[in-house]
Amino acid sequence: MLKKSKVAAVFAAIALAVSSAPASNAATDKQLEIFTWWASGGEAAGLAGMTTEFERLNPNTPFINASVAGAAGVNAKGVLVSRMQAGNPPDTFQAHAGEELSSYVKAGQIEDVSFLYKSEGWDKIFPKDLIKTLTTNGKIYSVPVNIHRSNVLWWNPAAAKKAGITKAPATLDAMIADMAKFKKAGIDGIALAGNGDWAIAHLFDYVLLASMGPDKFDGLWKGTTKWNGPEVKKAIGQFAKVLSYGNSSKSLDWPDAGKLVTTGKAGFFIMGDWASSQWQSEGLKLGKDYTWAPGPGTAGVYQWLSDSFTLPKGATNRDAGIAWLKVCGSKAGQDAFNPKKGSISARTDSDPKLYDSYLQAAMKSWKKDRLVGSTVHGVNWGNAGMAAYNSAVGRFYTGGAKDSAGFVKALLAAQKANAQG
């Protein structure tokens, strides 16, 4: 018969083993390879937060981040297409909610993950309208990790004071007038990022929305607003004016363009709210070194996008991929990720106290504002349409914003490319 001390030791050992064992839903595969374009700044910091949560739950599954940096995912998507076509998918990959996701569904490259929505209770915790953008023919194909806002105006308070600007412009035309004031003060009116086309297309997407309003803007994707109609032609004229006040270099990536604003060399910057996390990762302070407002002319409108993760067909480590998706959709995972990424949680039960003042304001706006999708980030068009759209805007920009008729033709061609898939 064991002595009491030995019995106690046995039970202590058992308790230690149980407490240190992986959770029951821990991955059983040898490793997890995820594919993203998050390689630096706030993006990398956010991913690291979610990775820590995965490793806590899955201590025996090595984590491999196969990230490809640059161009808001354009570079990464090129590599991903090659891997998928070669039958060598990662265990999970990043994709934007909306029509971009549908491109992978149509190609038969990702699995239905509806079973996770039932087992994890996500069908009750994610907004129903968001779930619709992840759904094709009644099946859900990815797990959203966040919500970003793309129509945000950023500026440097010190530079604005130098130019005699005391408040954010309320309309697109007022913004253009303020850019003239910056220029007169020896400051570029707006920071432009031409590398990879997407950031210039992001700016054009905002100009379309601010110029024609949300109903006409939505009509572009529904077929009720014509790409060669008067609304688009007016927006192109305004876009050309905006470009005329920008920096001369046409090869800057968006973080470098953003630095023009934070260092006082440029006045305004139209960029998604990931810019704030980038600047905070560089030690800058929101409200002091830079500030924000809704894109002029779009107050009350939330132009959104959402990063999500998928379960590719034929993935080597499927169990590990499922374990990662469970972390992506969890409250702990999203609250570890989003405050650092500069986005708000896709879940409706996240704690606002974990988020800064801008993100708390974004949470409120997401619930009450008119929602429209971001074209450049996959909501409105699939991969083929997005690529053609970005290219059309990029050519107009690098060509000196002179060939408006050619730009319209290129936009019509992008619409056709999207329809053909």
| Domain finish residue from 371, 387, 402 | 371
* Percentage above 90 pLDDT, the chain: 86
**pLDDT value, residue 71:** 60
pLDDT one-digit tens code per residue, 109-133: 999 999 999 999 999 999 999 999 9
**pLDDT value, residue 40:** 82
| Domain finish residue from 371, 387, 408 | 371
Same domain, 273 and 397: yes
**pLDDT value, residue 113:** 98
pLDDT one-digit tens code per residue, 65-81: 998 876 667 788 889 98
**pLDDT value, residue 14:** 33
Is pLDDT above 60 for 7? no
Distance separating alpha carbons of residues 39 and 277, to the nearest angstrom: 13
CA R_g for the chain: 23
Confidence band for 25, pLDDT divided at 50, 70 and 90: low
Residue 54 belongs to some domain of the structure: yes
Same domain, 32 and 57: yes
Residue 359 belongs to some domain of the structure: yes
DSSP characters for 386-417? HHHHHHHHHHHHHTTS--HHHHHHHHHHHHHH
Residue identified by tokens 């050992």 is 13
Residue 382 belongs to some domain of the structure: yes
**pLDDT value, residue 70:** 67
**pLDDT value, residue 15:** 36
Residue 4 belongs to some domain of the structure: no
pLDDT one-digit tens code per residue, 365-393: 999 999 999 999 999 999 999 999 999 99
Residue 9 belongs to some domain of the structure: no
Residue 6 belongs to some domain of the structure: no
Full-model pTM: 0.91
**pLDDT value, residue 22:** 36
Is pLDDT above 90 for 284? yes
**pLDDT value, residue 271:** 98
**pLDDT value, residue 26:** 67
Is pLDDT above 90 for 29? no
- The answer for residues whose C-beta is within 8 angstroms of residue 24's C-beta and 6 or more apart is none
104 or 180: which leads in pLDDT = 180
pLDDT one-digit tens code per residue, 90-103: 999 999 999 999 88
| Domain finish residue from 371, 390, 405 | 371
**pLDDT value, residue 30:** 84
Residue 14 belongs to some domain of the structure: no
Same domain, 356 and 407: no
Same domain, 49 and 142: yes
Same domain, 188 and 292: yes
User: Phi and psi dihedrals of 142, rounded to 5?
Assistant: -160, 170
Same domain, 392 and 253: yes
pLDDT one-digit tens code per residue, 294-350: 999 999 999 999 999 999 999 999 999 999 999 999 999 999 999 999 999 999 999
- Report how many domains make up the chain: 2
Same domain, 332 and 314: yes
Q: What is the mean pLDDT of residues 220-238?
A: 97
Is pLDDT above 90 for 399? yes
Same domain, 153 and 299: yes
User: Phi and psi dihedrals of 406, rounded to 5?
Assistant: -65, -35
Longest C-alpha distance within the chain, in Å?
94
**pLDDT value, residue 321:** 98
Same domain, 351 and 395: no
Is pLDDT above 80 for 9? no
The chain-wide mean pLDDT, for the chain, equals: 92
**pLDDT value, residue 41:** 85
- Share of the chain residues as helix, strand and coil, in percent rounded to the nearest 5: 50, 15, 35
Q: What is the mean pLDDT of residues 211-221?
A: 98
Under DSSP, the state recorded for 34 is: E
Same domain, 265 and 201: yes
CATH at residue 126: 3.40.190.10
Beta bridge partners of 93: 35
Same domain, 288 and 414: yes
**pLDDT value, residue 42:** 87
Residue 386 belongs to some domain of the structure: yes
- Structural domain boundaries enclosing 58: 19-147+306-371
Is pLDDT above 60 for 21? no
**pLDDT value, residue 69:** 76
Same domain, 298 and 341: no
The residue count of the chain comes to 421
Distance separating alpha carbons of residues 396 and 160, to the nearest angstrom: 29
